[in-house]
Chain A
Amino acid sequence: MKKETIIAVFFGLLFGGVVAVFISLKSRDIELAKNKVIAPPEEKVLSANLTGTEMQPLVLTEPSNDAIFEKNTIRFKGTAAKDSLIIIQSPIKDLVVKNTQEKFDFEFPLALGENSIKIVVYPKEKQFRPQEKFIKVYFIDSEL
């Protein structure tokens, strides 16, 4: 085999490898853009050392389930994992907050009558499952 042929084959393989790596990386981005379900990057899963790690559970001290209020605002008080994302949703309000400290205290409006409210905490460590609580509280106007 001629020297030129060997060089051509070598560069051909090299170029092919570069193109393959490029396509592989690009297809991953395209896949993400196309909105397919993608698992968390493997390196992140491996890098997270969760051995012995305990997550702060979601504790809701206020309000209690089935509570009756005479005012149209209440306060959500409790504790959740630091830096987690807290979403509180009701038919009249969506509250999205990053929990910068473990303790939280949010004001939340109530509609007249029954209020079904769901609280979900998404931990910063994505490997942990979200924590959820569902409560029903009632706003019964004192004038009624």
Chain B
Amino acid sequence: MKKIFLFIYFIICLFGYFAVNAIAQTPSIDATSSPTIAVDKDIQQLKDKIANKVSEIRKQNNRAISGFVTNVDGNTMKLSTDGEVNQVKFDDSLTKVFKVLGTTKKEIKKEDISKNDYAIASGVVSDNIITANVVLIDENFVVDSGKITEINKESYNIKVLTTDKSTYSLDIETTTKQYMVNIKTLLLETIGFSKLKEGDTVHFVVKKTGLEKDNNYSATKILIVPQEYFIK
């Protein structure tokens, strides 16, 4: 009988040992799980840092170029501006092409791009080739200023001499926006062609198609600073 009691006691002790061991192990599981969460957080932070760095580097390497399309061939396009030629590479899975229509844009296909279009390409530059994320087909504007040297009241044309000694011939159309600086208030006032005077300073915006002759452009907008401002 005594032996049976000892045996049962031994069994209870054994169960007790296992039970204590099991309880003791539970916190040890908690202890190991919290470092796992911490490691996950670290990995996430590292991932975020890498993503930010990649984004930064992409932004740093991101460039935009523009020019008239001289050649579109499969997945490449050549843009020419002031004698400089740049090559643009299309990535079928990445590159989007839009046509700018005033303040809005419309997505088009790269096949819709034609020679002499004015294109702006933005993307990462590598080995002088830009892999375009975005290509915009837009209009090219020239913004410049100078002095009016000649006014032709019959053909509604003015000649402008810029500070770099270039002479522009500007046709003032009915659609041309014409403004003059009020020399007292400095506000802009809408004017007509008759208000233009030789010797006035003119700031102008013209559309450039690349096909102009003799530096003759149709003026989109002119802003006159009257000569009285400079002699007051």
Chain A: residues with CB nearer than 8 A to chain B? 32, 35-38, 40-41, 44, 66, 68, 85, 87, 89-91, 94, 96-98, 111-114, 116-118, 120, 122, 126, 129-130, 132, 134, 136, 138, 140-141, 144
Closest B residue by C-beta to A132: B163
| Cα(A130)–Cα(B32), bound, Å | 73
Q: List 28 A-B contacts (CB under 8 A).
A: A35-B198, A36-B198, A38-B227, A40-B231, A68-B62, A89-B203, A89-B205, A89-B223, A90-B205, A91-B143, A91-B220, A91-B221, A94-B188, A112-B103, A113-B136, A113-B138, A114-B138, A116-B143, A118-B203, A122-B229, A126-B230, A130-B163, A132-B145, A138-B120, A138-B122, A140-B122, A140-B134, A144-B105
Closest A residue by C-beta to B179: A94
Q: Which of B142, B186, B188 contacts A98 (CB 8 A)?
A: B186
Q: Which of A37, A41, A89, A113 contacts B227 (CB 8 A)?
A: A37
Chain B: residues with CB nearer than 8 A to chain A? 62-64, 66, 96, 98, 100, 103, 105, 120, 122, 133-134, 136, 138, 140-145, 163, 179, 181, 186-188, 197-200, 203, 205, 220-221, 223, 225, 227-231
Contact B141 A91 (CB under 8 A): yes
